[in-house]
Amino acid sequence: MDTEKKLKSLVIAMSAVAIILAVVLVWVWTDKNSVVKELSVDKDQLTEQLGQLKTDYESLTTNNDSLNTQLERERIKVEELIERVKKTDASNRARIRSYEKELGTLRSIMRGYIIQIDSLNTLNISLRKDAAQARDEAQQSRQKYDDLRSTTDQYAKKVEMGARLKGRGFNVIAITSSNKDTERSSRTAKLKACMSLVENTLAERGPRKIYIRVKGPDGVLMTTSQQQIFSAAGEQMIYSAVRDVDYQGAEVEICIYYANNQKFEKGVYNIDFYTEEGKLGSADILLR
């Protein structure tokens, strides 16, 4: 009886131990599966985060070749880490945690590049603004220069025009060989063309030449046997007679005589007065 009781007690004890072991095994198995699932989730999340980091690196572009090279090098590191994560078993918790640390490091590096790129972009924007401002200022300076040059040219032209000799009191009379006035062509020996150079403080002082061009009733220019040429405002012209005058800025009256080689015909004679600067004026006379 005692032996049976002992055997029965032993069986009961062993059964209890077996049940406990079974419960422990079930708990361990369940816990292991839970850990594996958790690690798988961590691996998937790590892979997804690395993929996003790769995309973020690809989106970073600059005009700086050196910086672009550095960004490409970091992007390759991310791709290599993604491949290592994919090849690592999810249950290798230490390796997964190591990769998570590398991800953190790569993120920190990326933030540094983002700050650097933002600084470059800010600098570029500032430089573009400065360049645009410099262009505007240069344009304004050119415009001011053009305006000033135009104004200066206008003033120069006004001064030039103001410095030109001007005449007034243009008149012509016919005189006989005895220096008496006449209106008859048959008695005319010379034409006396007179005028006054007006006062001009801007005009150049010194010797000047006053030219006359005499046209007969037929409109033909009357000259001496030897045609003489002068330049008026850049145009070459033939003159009938010329006289030198010493002009000192004050008004001065001058007369120029023209004697025809042939007798004067009846009709209207036209006399134009010139300096080398241009035409001064005109006068007519009727000979009967």
> What is the number of residues in the chain?
288
Q: Is the dihedral of CA 43, 45, 50, 55 positive or negative?
A: positive
The span from the CA of 66 to the CA of 32, in Å, is 49
Beta bridge partners of 246: 207
List all residues 6 or more positions away from 99 whose beta carbon is below 8 Å from its beta carbon: 46, 81, 84, 85, 88
With DSSP H G I counted as helix, E B as strand and the rest as coil, what are the percentages for the chain, rounded to 5?
55, 25, 20
CATH of 167-287 given 2.40.340.10, 3.40.50.410, 2.60.40.10, 2.40.50.140: 2.60.40.10
Q: Range with the lowest mean pLDDT among 66-75, 149-158, 254-263, 269-278?
A: 149-158
Taken in order 75, 79, 80, 84, the sign of the CA dihedral is positive
Average pLDDT for 65-88: 80
Among candidate residues 218, 253, 257, 211, the one with its CA nearest the CA of residue 236: 211
Query: How much is the pLDDT for 258?
Result: 93
3-state secondary structure of 203: coil
**Domain segments of the chain as ranges:** 2-121, 167-287
pLDDT, mean of residues 73-82: 82
pLDDT tens, residue by residue, 137-179: 767 877 877 776 766 666 555 455 566 889 999 999 999 999 9
Q: pLDDT tens across 222-245, in order?
A: 987 677 899 988 889 999 999 999
pTM for the whole thing?
Answer: 0.49
Q: Of 274 and 112, which is predicted with more confidence? A: 274
Give the DSSP letter string of 23-74: HHHHHHHHHHHHHHHHHHHHHHHHHHHHHHHHHHHHH---S-HHHHHHHHHH
